[in-house]
Amino acid sequence: MSERLFLLGRDPSTRPRADGSGPDRAPSPLPDWAQANPVEIEEALARALAKPAGGWAVLDASRTIRRGPRKYVVAGRELAAWWCSKPGDEGPRVGPDYCPHMGAELSKGSVDREGRIVCPWHALAFSGTEAKGGYAPLRTYDDGVLTWARLPELASESDPLTDRPFLARRPARFLDAVIRMEARCEPRDVIANRLDPWHGAHFHPHSFARLRVVDRGPDHVTVRVVYRIAGRVGMEVDARFDCPDPRTIVMTIVAGEGVGSIVETHATPLADGRTAIIEATIATSERTEVISWLPSASALLRPMVEARARKLWVEDVDYCERTYALRKKGS
Ligand code: FES
Ligand SMILES: [Fe+2]
């Protein structure tokens, strides 16, 4: 017998979807395991992987970068990231985590009043915008929630460097929460995990109930899912998944409560078989009373949203590491 649920908020089945996608599919007579067709998931993944990224990868939440020099590894390169707060020149800076003088790690240094990173050993300073003595900074982009860096090694002849990353459409006013986790897998495993929505209610029963695919196209899949608030109390929404670039998958709420809210999952290659999962939840509402208190509630709600996202990703890291291990074994 199916579980009795108590649903709050707007009913997604009574309203047209915000993305104008087609009529609801009738529920599939197939069980979820039969709908989760590995060949179709692999084909959807191949289409996502063929998209351009322009050499861009997400490093971290912009508010984390603002807290001082930090070390990151992307595509095997050690990087130091910091925030330049010099008036009129504010922004993220990213460059090699290597001082060309004698090799100190710049991420262990400090940031001066000019917004330069200062080497901890002999105080050589780098602006992060100009090359100096073998030190070549990377281009960065702050999208307001996440900081991106552009690495030539992530580009190719068919996917050349671009001035900006390919960004998902975001709501005008929102509450954002960002988590960053690492996994022993490749970025493609993270994207493939999200291209398999059928595992949701089975693998994460604490968070999801009653999930079915209501629309599907070559570049998207839309599910109707009950998101549990507590126990059998939940909200039902239609959520569409698509990939703006080969290392990002975005879930957009297209009907129900919170239309326009998105969850961006970014997979950044660290080194062989290591990937960072950086996930931004960007929540909004069509209700004006909710929109007005969203900014003031951010500090309170952000840790709760991040805790829920992290709990899901503990399980999904396990899924991704399993698919990676199986691929490595050739099975
Ligand atoms: S090692 Fe950086 S200034 Fe000497
Ligand atoms: Fe999952």
Which of 192, 154, 204, 195 lies closest to 326 in space, CA to CA? Answer: 192
Point out the ligand nearest to the CA of residue 315. Answer: 2
CB-neighbour burial class of residue 35 (10 A; exposed 0-12, middle 13-18, buried 19+)? middle
- Whole-number pLDDT of residue 18: 63
pTM > 0.85: yes or no? yes
Confirm if 233 and 207 have CB atoms less than 8 A apart: no
- Whole-number pLDDT of residue 1: 54
Q: Which of 124, 126, 132, 135 to mutate to test the pocket of ligand 1 (most atoms within 8 A of CB)?
A: 124
Considering the segment(s) 56-154 as one domain, its CATH architecture is: 3-layer Sandwich (2.102)
Q: What is the mean pLDDT of residues 125-129?
A: 95
Point out the ligand nearest to the CA of residue 208. Answer: 2
Point out the ligand nearest to the CA of residue 103. Answer: 1
- pLDDT band of residue 322 (cuts 50, 70, 90) is very high
Tokens at 102, concatenated: 């004698």
Residue the block writes with tokens 């322009």: 54
Residues in contact with ligand 1 (CB, 6 Å cut-off): 99, 101-102, 104, 119, 121-122, 124
- pLDDT band of residue 291 (cuts 50, 70, 90) is low
Cα 68 from Cα 80, distance rounded (Å):
10
Cα 197 from Cα 312, distance rounded (Å):
13
Q: Which helix (H) or strand (E) holds 328?
A: helix 288-329
Rounded to the nearest angstrom, the distance between the alpha carbon of 154 and the centre of ligand 1 is 29
* DSSP string over 73-90: EETTEEEEEEEE--TT--
- pLDDT band of residue 219 (cuts 50, 70, 90) is confident
- Whole-number pLDDT of residue 19: 67
User: 20-29, 52-61, 116-125 — which is least confidently predicted?
Assistant: 20-29
User: What are the domain boundaries of the chain?
Assistant: 6-51+168-329, 56-154
Confirm if 266 and 279 have CB atoms less than 8 A apart: yes
Tell the residue nearest (CA) to atom 4 of ligand 1.
122
Model confidence pLDDT, tens digit, residues 29-85: 889 899 999 999 999 999 999 999 999 999 999 999 998 899 999 999 999 999 999
- Whole-number pLDDT of residue 79: 98
Categorise residue 9: left if φ over 0, alpha if ψ from -120 to 50, beta otherwise. left
* DSSP string over 226-242: EEEEETTEEEEEEEEEE
Which of 243, 235, 268 lies closest to 94 in space, CA to CA? Answer: 268
Confirm if 313 and 181 have CB atoms less than 8 A apart: yes
Q: Do domains 6-51+168-329 and 56-154 have the same CATH topology?
A: no
Topology annotation, domain 6-51+168-329: Alpha-D-Glucose-1,6-Bisphosphate; Chain A, domain 4 (3.30.530)
Q: What is the mean pLDDT of residues 4-30?
A: 71
